[in-house]
Amino acid sequence: VHRDIKPDNILFADHSTSLSQIKLADFGQASFFSPGEGLIQGIVGTPYYIAPEVLGGKDYNEKVDVWSAGVILYIMLSGVAPFVGETPQEIFEAVLCGRLRFPTDRWLSISHSAKDLIRRMLSRDVTKRISTDQVLEHPWITTHALCN
């Protein structure tokens, strides 16, 4: 589990092409985890990207990284974060209490399929949040994938 997925930690392998592979960097907060092994504890990460179960002090698993990737996807498609605040504490409160919204002015041209993927990635209920495998199998991903 990476535990600090954010745009600063996503790098392009080759800047000379728009089809470059991306690489995940900064594994300083990462924790080895095997499904069925148990859950992880501890609050780590960057405010906008921390999953609600981490902020709530609950045990968590690899789905915290799905949450973070969902926040990044939301930002990439809309240009703004899904949960905002002036201070880290306000951001945490927005993540814990706020509702996911898709304001018409920013989301009018975004497909229902893209919004469905984001809703599933940003489910507050970790048991309903999709897995990384399910993200890769989602219709929005499979219909827009550039390669297999």
Structure tokens at 82: 């899904």
**CA 121 to CA 49: how far, in whole Å?**
12
Across the strands, what pairs with 60?
40
**∠ Cα 10 16 21 (to 5°):** 40
Structure tokens given for 107: 């989301």
DSSP per-residue letters across 41-109:
----S-GGG--HHHHTT--B-THHHHHHHHHHHHHHHHSS-SS--SSHHHHHHHHHHPPP---HHHHTT
Q: Would you please indicate which residues are annotated as catalytic (active-site) residues?
A: 4
